[in-house]
Each structure stands twice: as C-alpha cells, then as structure tokens.
Amino acid sequence: MKKNTKKLTLSALLSALALITFMIENLFPPLFFPGARMGLSNVFILLCVVLLGNKYGFAVLIVKVTLGSLYSGNISALMYSLPSGLIALIIQVLLIKYTSRLSIIAISVTGSVANAVCQNAVFCFVMKSFAYLSYSPYLALSGVISGAIVGATVFFLTKKLRKIKFLQDIYFT
Amino acid sequence: MRYKSSEKKFNIDNHNKTCLEKISSSKLFYTRDLFAYAFVALFVVFLIIVFVVLPSNKQANGFCVKKDGQVVFYFTNNTVKIQNDYDDLIETVGIQNGVEVTIYTDSNKTNFNVILFDLSNKTAKVTKSTCSHSKDCCYSPAISNSGIIYCAPHGLSIEPIGSGGFTPPVTGGIK
C-alpha cells in the first residue's frame, strides 16, 4: 500500500471514530451546563494532527462536524461548531508548531477553552443576543476539564501508537 | 516486518515525524505550561467578572419568553402577560410559591416546554420539555437577575427583563 493511501485510510478511520464518539456523546445530557460536553471526539482530531499532519487534522474536523450535525438532525449547529472548531484547531496547530517545551495537555486545554468561548460567541452572533455570553465562563471551565482529558489521552495514545507497524510504514516507506 | 536503523532508504516525512516524535517524547508537564494555564485562568476569571459578577448586581423585575425571536409572554408582578397570537398555546397553573407555565410550540399541542417561575427565589427554570434527547434547556440552571435559558429545537428563550432596560410589548391578556 502506498504511503498516501495509508494516510488516507488512517484519516478515514480517525474520522469514523471521531464521528461515532461525537454521536454517542450526544446521547448523554450535558455536563453541568447546556452545551458543555466532554468533547472526546477531539481526541481523534488532535491525534490526526500529531500522526498525519495539519491538513488531515482539518479534514477530520470538517467531516466530524458536518456529518455529526447532519446525523444528529441539528444542521444549524454547523454554523457555530465549524468556525469555533477551526479556530481552536488553528490555535493548537500553531502552538504545536511554534512552541517548544509546551505539553500536549496545555495545548489541548488552550484549544478547548478557545473552542468553547468561540462557539458561544458565534452562537450569540447568530442568535443576535449577547445574553448567551453569560454561559461563556462555565463553558470555558468545562473546556479546561475536557481539554485536560483530551490532551492526556492523546499523550498516552501517541506513546503507544508510535510502536505500531502500520504507522511506522507511513513514516518509513 | 520491522525496520532496522541500518536501513537507510527511508523517505521520512519530516514534518509528521517531528510532530509525532515531539509529542511522544514529551512530558506530561513542563514549567512553561504554567504560562498557558495562567493565561487560561486569567481569561476565565475575566469572563466570570464580566458575565456573572457584574450582571448579578442588576435587579430584574420579571422574565420574558420568546419563540423564534418573537415575544410570547412575559412574567412580571406575579402575572403572565400573553401576546394575542399565543393565547391558545399557553396554560398556567398556580403552585406553592410559584407559577408553572406550559407553552406548546406547535398547533397540535404535541411539543411543549414547562417553565417554573419561583416567586420566593425570583427565578425561572425549564422543568419539562419534549425538545430533544439531551434536553439542554432542562439542564440549564435557574436564572434570576442575569443569564438566559435557550431551547434550540423549539426556538424558545427565557431571559430576565428590567435589568438591561428591555421592556417587551404586550398585546394580549393577563392571567
């Protein structure tokens, strides 16, 4: 199998995992506040950035958000989920690229908080009401928790996954 | 098949390998992380001050309920004042220390939200809804002088009035 085909296969697998996690997570009530979720599907997006590169990470994000909104029957969520997800991922990509000695957990926490606040801000803009900004402190706090969990998961997964032959084939062909 | 370090004909994807190596050889915590965490903490404190502490000083004198941006009714001075168009879609029940209002969001009266106005605590909360599986509106905390409860599937919002100078128009009856 060619290197690019392997990358495409792995990114498709990560997209499917992100989508399934997102759909399962949607079945549960929010954490403490409306809109607050663990965001465990972001594990696969961040993992894709680390394993395959930025463009694959962005592709997985777009697939997850678009199909997730369609399957959950809430297409309007696309309006505020996609821009906030893109902003958060850009921040994470820049932090990975330009900062040395910053742990993946700190990067994930920063991105997660940015995602939560941006999503709330875009939602306010779409709804034309700033009253919804009152949720932003709570969403930011939930972003800290979910970001730490996502970051720690990616950290441990990366340690394990680098030993897998399929991944070695991608890097050494 | 395992690759040996002696094999030199590898076309290494430098960017990804660097990224993978960087993360997989990193630690769970670096001293520089403290700057990132401090920045996040300051940002959260700023949000709490601006959106929680400062608005709570303002006194609301009721609640306004909107559907798709249009005022349906508002609850003030212990009365429910309904817009004409929605008169048939709202049921009001007086309970101990409060008023329970059921608003039907379709003409068949299959979908609804139940809003509890607590007179003693001067709060509003959605107690029941047929909106979605996750029922975000029911999990929203009770609002008093600030905040908002939003039910996205029904396009319903509940917000305090008076604190921000907002006074909705009323064209309907009073219950």
Residue B174 lies in a domain: no
Candidate from B17, B43, B137 with C-beta closest to A34: B137
Closest-CA distance of chain B to residue A138, Å: 8
DSSP 8-state secondary structure symbol assigned to residue B7: -
Number of separate domains in chain A: 1
Residues 121-140 of B with CB under 8 A from A: 132-137, 139-140
Q: Are residues B23 and B108 in the same domain?
A: no
State which residues form the domain around A136: 3-171
What is the separation, in whole angstroms, between the first and last Cα of chain A?
10
Q: Are residues B22 and B83 in the same domain?
A: no
Q: Looking at B6, B31, B56, which one is the last position of a domain?
A: B56
Q: Are residues B41 and B74 in the same domain?
A: no
User: Given this model, what pLDDT does residue A32 score?
Assistant: 74
Q: Are residues B43 and B97 in the same domain?
A: no
Report ipTM (2 d.p.): 0.88
Q: Looking at B56, B78, B106, which one is the last position of a domain?
A: B56
Q: Are residues B40 and B68 in the same domain?
A: no
Is B166's Cβ below 8 Å from some Cβ in A? no
Is A159's Cβ below 8 Å from some Cβ in B? yes
Residue B165 lies in a domain: no
Q: Dihedrals φ, ψ of B149, to 5°?
A: -115, 130
State which residues form the domain around B95: 63-160
pLDDT in tens, B69-96: 888 998 988 888 888 788 889 999 988 8
Amino acid at B170: V
Query: Among positive and negative, which fits the CA dihedral B48, B50, B52, B57?
Result: positive
Q: Are residues B97 and B48 in the same domain?
A: no
Report CB contact under 8 Å: B33, A102.
yes
Residue B8 lies in a domain: no
User: Given this model, what pLDDT does residue A133 score?
Assistant: 86
What are the DSSP calls for A41-78, one per residue? THHHHHHHHHHH-HHHHHHHHHHHHHHHHHHTT-TTHH
DSSP 8-state secondary structure symbol assigned to residue A132: G
pLDDT in tens, B33-76: 999 999 999 999 999 999 888 877 778 888 999 988 888 998 98
Q: Are residues B84 and B150 in the same domain?
A: yes
**Average pLDDT of the segment spanning B9-26:** 65
Residue B135 lies in a domain: yes
Q: Are residues B124 and B67 in the same domain?
A: yes
Q: Are residues B68 and B85 in the same domain?
A: yes
Number of separate domains in chain B: 2
Q: What is the mean pLDDT of chain B?
A: 81
Task: Give the CATH number of the domain where residue A39 resides.
Answer: 1.10.1760.20
pLDDT band at B17 (very low <50, low <70, confident <90, very high): low
Three-class secondary structure of residue A79 per DSSP: helix
Candidate from B28, B150, B164 with C-beta closest to A103: B28
Q: Are residues B70 and B151 in the same domain?
A: yes
- Where does B40-162 show beta strands of DSSP type E? 63-67, 70-76, 79-82, 90-95, 98-104, 112-118, 123-129, 149-151, 156-160
Report CB contact under 8 Å: B139, A52.
no
Q: Which is more confidently placed, B135 or A155?
A: A155
User: Given this model, what pLDDT does residue A148 score?
Assistant: 96
Is B141's Cβ below 8 Å from some Cβ in A? yes
Q: Looking at B40, B56, B72, which one is the last position of a domain?
A: B56
User: Given this model, what pLDDT does residue A72 score?
Assistant: 82
Candidate from A33, A109, A172 with C-beta closest to B3: A172
Q: Is the pLDDT of residue A16 over 80?
A: yes
Candidate from A127, A129, A137 with C-beta closest to B47: A137
Q: Are residues B145 and B82 in the same domain?
A: yes
Q: Which is more confidently placed, A168 or B148?
A: B148
Task: Give the CATH number of the domain where residue B84 resides.
Answer: 2.60.320.10
Adjacency order of strands within the sheet including B79-82: B79-82, B70-76, B63-67, B156-160, B149-151
In our burial notation (b when 16+ CB lie closer than 10 A, e otherwise), range B60-78 reads bebbbbbbeeebbbbbbee
pLDDT band at B174 (very low <50, low <70, confident <90, very high): very low
CA nearest A149 in B: which residue? B28
Q: Which is more confidently placed, B161 or B132?
A: B161
Q: Are residues B80 and B142 in the same domain?
A: yes
pLDDT band at B8 (very low <50, low <70, confident <90, very high): very low
pLDDT in tens, A50-73: 989 899 999 999 999 999 999 887
d(CA B10, CA A84): 38
- B contacts of A99 (beta carbons < 8 Å): 32
Q: Which is more confidently placed, A170 or B69?
A: B69
Q: Is the pLDDT of residue B171 over 60?
A: no
